[in-house]
Chains A and B, each alone.
Chain A
């Protein structure tokens, strides 16, 4: 805030008029936010590889720097100096634009996230819609990549990815609607301010649906069908090399974190926490801590669960998440109106109760319809496990 005032004063001293100086300030702000986010991605890539390594009884990156922390820097330098191969027969326009659009669609989401009481990119009054709309831009980017590559695997994968993203946008949008009903606003800042009780407590089922849908939207395991190596070689980015591949890679990892930021803004109270109103800088810390927790949960799931088949993926969405989300929306709407006069405590308890009942009923239906698959056990249950004493220790053989 003070920096922006100082810069604004500087610009008006130079004889820049007001509208231009606002424009320039916004430009600088977005550039800073984008750059910081992209630099943070380097850390996220390292952390995710390290965590997944530990989950899979490996060391993970361990050569460059202490605990391998500079591995992604080394990777970045490698990607920069790699030869840039353009396969013959590509459609140049879509092929070259696609990585930029994908990265931009991820970064644009950051513009609406309130980072603390005073610090936010843009208090858009339709932020919730903007969130969904930007997801649509990402789909266009992926289709362009798949088409422009002139490769049947890339095209098939782009079809899969966009079908998945379009499908999972629906339960996500419906859960967002219930949040809009509860907070009475579509602006992210108002949603954060409305969370005296975090929405994850009021809407546990909604949070669950949103979390699953956002994993699928990111195309991460167990929903990483778009890059099923055994079927599609490497997904829609198969024909990309060097920096362009790097952009897809960065977009993938950054999207995982940004969707965690969105989740914690919508359900965990965003920047709110003890003392965050008086010291805005604390808000950013709270937001990052909450997002890291959600992000870690995502990485954990990614490291533990096997991939779904495409028909299972579609079934989960259309036969489970979507009906459940619609039911939740109707229930929240009716309950909100019926007990509106009863005071906020009773309202909160009704919401929690209804959520849990819905969850229990849906779980019961799932349990009833489940078909057991006999799994023949191979080998024994005891297996040797690499057990580092301390996950951060260095030992002479690496790690």
Chain B
């Protein structure tokens, strides 16, 4: 077994295990910390694939910003830290059924795709070219310019909405 495989298997197991811990723990703060670990595992999988940009952004955005925000929210929410809250409601059986059906449908669909059993080809880009290619893909009209711009408008709208909600409207 090559070292890549060993690293991949250990990180994949770690990611899956911490993802399970996120949904099964009672203590919300611990769940948030396990979420950090799960996201870190995903970042390392990106790094193993040679997608260093995605690995760095995964850590920067999901751990540096979102997970910290989540932890703040958990810590500042009253009574949410008690362990008495049940984690499931009455619909859990139905949810399990639906999720497993959808899972098998997706797997069935993907496995019939021709690219499924094909091993990944070696990355042809080196160094900065990877990021240049990514950036060009985002902004070139033949690439993903429209979804990219739409997403940025959406984020701007969310930002403005946040400012509006936080604004002190009491002073007339």
Q: Which residues of A contact B (CB under 8 A)?
A: 17, 19-20, 22-23, 91, 93-94, 123-126, 129-130, 132-137, 139-140, 143-144, 147, 155, 159, 162, 166, 169, 184-187, 190
Q: Identify which of residues 9-58 in chain B touch chain A, using a CB-to-CB cut-off of 8 Å.
A: 29-30, 33, 36, 52-53, 55-57
Q: Is B60 in contact with A132, judged by CB distance below 8 angstroms?
A: yes
Q: Is A137 in contact with B30, judged by CB distance below 8 angstroms?
A: no
In the bound complex, what is the Cα–Cα distance between A190 and B75 (angstroms)?
42
In the bound complex, what is the Cα–Cα distance between A232 and B54 (angstroms)?
38
Q: Is A124 in contact with B52, judged by CB distance below 8 angstroms?
A: yes
A19 touches which of B4, B65, B75 (Cβ 8 Å): B4
Q: Shortest CB–CB separation between residue B126 and chain A, in angstroms?
A: 8
Task: Indicate whether A136 sits within 8 Å of B3 (C-beta atoms), given known contacts A94-B33, A187-B127.
Answer: no
Task: Indicate whether A132 sits within 8 Å of B29 (C-beta atoms), given known contacts A19-B4, A20-B3, A190-B128.
Answer: no
Q: Is B68 in contact with A140, judged by CB distance below 8 angstroms?
A: yes
Q: Which residues of B contact A22 (CB under 8 A)?
A: 3
Q: Which residues of B contact A133 (CB under 8 A)?
A: 56-57, 59-60, 63-64
Q: Which 6 A-B pairs have the closest CB atoms?
A: A136-B64, A129-B56, A133-B59, A133-B60, A23-B3, A126-B56
Residue of A nearest to B5 (CB): A19
Known contacts A93-B33, A137-B63, A166-B64; can you find 6 more A-B pairs with CB under 8 A?
Answer: A125-B53, A126-B52, A126-B55, A140-B68, A166-B65, A186-B128
Q: Is B127 in contact with A143, judged by CB distance below 8 angstroms?
A: no
Q: Shortest CB–CB separation between residue A330 and chain B, in angstroms?
A: 16
Q: Is A93 in contact with B30, judged by CB distance below 8 angstroms?
A: yes
Q: Is A136 in contact with B65, judged by CB distance below 8 angstroms?
A: yes
Q: Which residues of A contact B33 (CB under 8 A)?
A: 93-94, 140, 144
Q: Is A19 in contact with B68, judged by CB distance below 8 angstroms?
A: no
Q: Which residues of A contact B4 (CB under 8 A)?
A: 19
Q: Which residues of A contact B57 (CB under 8 A)?
A: 129, 133
A91 touches which of B29, B52, B127 (Cβ 8 Å): B29
B60 touches which of A125, A129, A186 (Cβ 8 Å): A129
Convert B123-137 into 0s and 1s, putting 1 for each residue whose CB lies closer than 8 angstroms to a CB of A: 000011011000000
Q: Shortest CB–CB separation between residue B60 and chain A, in angstroms?
A: 4
Q: Is B2 an interface residue (CB 8 A)?
A: yes
Q: Is A132 in contact with B64, judged by CB distance below 8 angstroms?
A: yes
Convert B104-130 into 0s and 1s, putting 1 for each residue whose CB lies closer than 8 angstroms to a CB of A: 000000000000000000000001101
Q: Which residues of B contact A159 (CB under 8 A)?
A: 72
In the bound complex, what is the Cα–Cα distance between A94 and B75 (angstroms)?
14
Q: Is B75 in contact with A147, judged by CB distance below 8 angstroms?
A: yes
Q: Shortest CB–CB separation between residue B15 and chain A, in angstroms?
A: 17
Convert B88-111 into 0s and 1s, putting 1 for each residue whose CB lies closer than 8 angstroms to a CB of A: 000000000000000000000000
Q: Shortest CB–CB separation between residue A319 and chain B, in angstroms?
A: 15
Task: Indicate whether A130 sits within 8 Å of B30 (C-beta atoms), given known contacts A137-B63, A140-B63, A187-B127.
Answer: no
In the bound complex, what is the Cα–Cα distance between A139 and B30 (angstroms)?
16
Q: Is A137 in contact with B59, judged by CB distance below 8 angstroms?
A: yes
B131 touches which of A123, A125, A143 (Cβ 8 Å): A125
In the bound complex, what is the Cα–Cα distance between A184 and B29 (angstroms)?
41
Residue of B nearest to A158 (CB): B75
Q: Shortest CB–CB separation between residue B54 and chain A, in angstroms?
A: 9
Q: Which residues of A contact B3 (CB under 8 A)?
A: 19-20, 22-23
Q: Shortest CB–CB separation between residue B3 and chain A, in angstroms?
A: 4
Q: Is A126 in contact with B75, judged by CB distance below 8 angstroms?
A: no
Q: Shortest CB–CB separation between residue A132 and chain B, in angstroms?
A: 5
Residue of A nearest to B4 (CB): A19
In the bound complex, what is the Cα–Cα distance between A133 and B43 (angstroms)?
11
- Which of B33, B56, B65 lies at the interface centre, i.e. has the most chain A CB atoms within 10 A of its CB? B56
B29 touches which of A124, A125, A147, A187 (Cβ 8 Å): A147
Residue of A nearest to B60 (CB): A133
Residue of B nearest to A130 (CB): B56
Q: Shortest CB–CB separation between residue A142 and chain B, in angstroms?
A: 10
B67 touches which of A126, A132, A140 (Cβ 8 Å): A140
In the bound complex, what is the Cα–Cα distance between A159 and B131 (angstroms)?
35
In the bound complex, what is the Cα–Cα distance between A93 and B37 (angstroms)?
13
Q: Shortest CB–CB separation between residue B52 and chain A, in angstroms?
A: 5
Q: Which residues of B contact A137 (CB under 8 A)?
A: 59, 63-64
Q: Is A136 in contact with B63, judged by CB distance below 8 angstroms?
A: yes
Q: Shortest CB–CB separation between residue B111 and chain A, in angstroms?
A: 29
In the bound complex, what is the Cα–Cα distance between A141 and B66 (angstroms)?
15
Q: Which residues of A contact B55 (CB under 8 A)?
A: 126
Q: Is B63 in contact with A125, judged by CB distance below 8 angstroms?
A: no
In the bound complex, what is the Cα–Cα distance between A123 and B130 (angstroms)?
14
Q: Which residues of B contact A17 (CB under 8 A)?
A: 2
Task: Indicate whether A187 sits within 8 Å of B68 (C-beta atoms), given known contacts A91-B29, A137-B63, A140-B36.
Answer: no
A139 touches which of B53, B56, B68, B127 (Cβ 8 Å): B68
